[in-house]
Amino acid sequence: MKKDDEPRPRAYSIRPVSPADTPSLVALSGSSGLFQTEELGAIQEMLDDYHATKVGGGHQILTCDEGGMLLGVAYFCPREFTDKVWELLMIAVDAARHRQGIGSRMLQAVEDAVREMNGRLLLIETSDKSSFERTRQFYRKHGYSEVAHIPDYFSDGDGKASFIKRM
């Protein structure tokens, strides 16, 4: 293969979201494999609330943009009543783009932002269902320690696994 024929690295940018991104981010959330169709209304409300009341209050949402196509989203904020603890509320990547490093880049961007704001810890909470094992493995791979488990937290049979990483 000649050098000119080699695939070029994709030009991703990670940037803050805008209100115009909302429809694409709701669709991306649906295509991520993490959310059920009936949960997408809550994602829409979360994004609308973010743009209406949370911007500037420490809450941040980043997206991975490849030439106008949104591939990933991450929402994080300071945890109230704590000393410099931040929480990742959501991270999702379009399922067609899983295992291409997008989630890792998104998580790294979140960690970098938390460090810039002198964050001490980053907390992540997720489902303990077997269908979320790959998600939990992703956090472990990135140096997060599973520190708590609450059975039946989200609903009967769907507990919460909590992960933390010192920044």
Is position 157 within any domain? yes
**With 70 as the cut, is the pLDDT of residue 149 above it?**
yes
Is position 84 within any domain? yes
Is position 5 within any domain? no
Residue 101 is encoded by which pair of tokens? 């490093």
Q: How many domains does the chain have?
A: 1
Q: What's the mean pLDDT in 89-99? A: 88
The phi-psi region of residue 97 (left if phi > 0; otherwise alpha if psi is between -120 and 50; otherwise beta) is alpha
Residue 126 is encoded by which pair of tokens? 């997720």
Q: What is the CATH number of the domain that holds 75?
A: 3.40.630.30
Residue 2's pLDDT band (boundaries 50, 70, 90)?
A: very low
61 contact partners, CB below 8 Å, separation of at least 6: 16, 17, 47, 50, 73, 74, 75, 76
**With 80 as the cut, is the pLDDT of residue 21 above it?**
yes
Is position 99 within any domain? yes
> Which range among 49-53, 89-93, 122-126, 149-153 shows the weakest confidence by mean pLDDT?
49-53
Is position 2 within any domain? no
Amino acid letter at 34?
A: L
Is position 4 within any domain? no
Instruction: Give me the pLDDT at residue 6, please.
Output: 52
Q: Which domain holds residue 147?
A: 11-166
Residues 27-86: pLDDT tens digits?
A: 888 877 777 777 888 888 989 999 888 887 789 999 999 988 999 999 999 999 999 999
Residue 10's pLDDT band (boundaries 50, 70, 90)?
A: low
